[in-house]
Structure 1
């Protein structure tokens, strides 16, 4: 049986986050010298740190929180495709890829090459893509980018359009060494009752 491959960003105190968001920090807040038996760590982070999912509440006050999402969407068969694009992800970019019946679609763009620096700009998902992917059966879209919208966007058109077509969002994947093909995915969010998003430990295993 194939081994699981980690496709998550590493969480450390030097990692970059969305400009203006809460920096990630980990420290031992209760050490063995003080406790007498254990080290206990303290984590401070945004719900959108590193590899994470977005809940609709992130961009819609009436949207579902993380706890309301169907966890079955975040574990199961997935398809990885490579889209060598630079400006935007368009419907025509999917021509030539057989994604019909794909529930979980993971897209490698290769645009975010240096993850020690937050990108100034990224390809975004064009209008019409959500409807097209929904017609193919896609319910979860994952990208190796920090967002499905332009960095400077306030309207978050792609977020809203994807959600309106029943697609869930997984961002910040590390797919650099992942070949296109069929896999099993596990990227479960934390059970955050009021969460607008959640970090995930995303892993893939080549489908036998």
Structure 2
């Protein structure tokens, strides 16, 4: 079976705060030109996309330098729900969601690492897509990202990313005093050339194990790219 886990790219769609707005508009039309083409203006991190190491690391690999085979994953779904807005996801929380005990983080992720190369973290925040609340997604602690990085496991999420996103004035959720600045989870994963797949959707009802295909555009010197993320599993 196959399922599309990606957001449609369309004019006015949600973007990370400060990123370019998206417009998709007709260029040539059947009525005027006898054929149809469109003009797309977008940032490289719009909708469902992958991050290349160059995204947060100035000397990191660009998206066109990464072997395309790295974007075909043996994935494991990690259901972390329920989570509070802007809740920190610790290494221990990851272990518990994977079926391990809080004092057995290393053993549990070691076992997963032998079989998968991407943990798809279901936070439940896909339900807030298109609202300001989407900014208030949970995030990975640097230690949780380091556990994954140490074992060569990348991360996918149904949120803007593994680090906190700036809050919106329209919500009543404030950043906690211990919320990290910058992009520590990104940096930990990307320094080891591990994939990050962001803004996934359609995770409900997926099996625990599946294949995930998330091939980026071959953007020269690209720091990331939108993808058509597709899950495959045996019925």
Q: TM-score, normalised by structure 1?
A: 0.89
Partner of 1:52: 49
Distance in 2 separating the partners of 1:162 and 1:168: 7
Q: Distance in 2 between matches of 1:66 and 1:147?
A: 17
Residue aligning to 1:20 = 18
Gaps of 5+ in 1: none
Q: Distance in 2 between matches of 1:60 and 1:155?
A: 12
Q: TM-score, normalised by structure 2?
A: 0.80
RMSD, aligned α-carbons: 1.9
- How far the C-alpha of 1:24 sits from its partner, in A, is 1.2
Q: Deviations over 1:120-178 (max 9, x none)?
A: 3221211222332234441x210001111111375211111112344221100004423
Pair 1:146 & 2:160 matched: yes
Check the 8 A contact 1:66/1:193 in 2, yes or no.
yes
For 1:61 and 1:135, the matched residues in 2 are separated by 21
| Distance 1:131-1:123 versus aligned 2 partners, 3 A rule | same
**Corresponding residue of 2:91:** 91
Deviating more after overlay: 198-207 vs 153-162: 153-162
SS for the counterpart of 1:158 is: helix
1:58-106 deviations in Å (ceiling 9; x for gaps): 1122211110112212114211121113301111012241523221221
Tell me the equivalent position of 1:33: 31
Gaps of 5+ in 2: 99-107, 167-179
1:123-138 equivalence runs, <5 A: 123-138=138-153
Are 1:107 and 2:105 counterparts?
no
More helix by share: 2
Aligned counterpart, 1:81: 78
Corresponding residue for residue 204 of structure 2: 177
CA distance in 2, matches of 1:42, 1:166: 32
Greater Cα offset, 5-14 or 89-98: 89-98
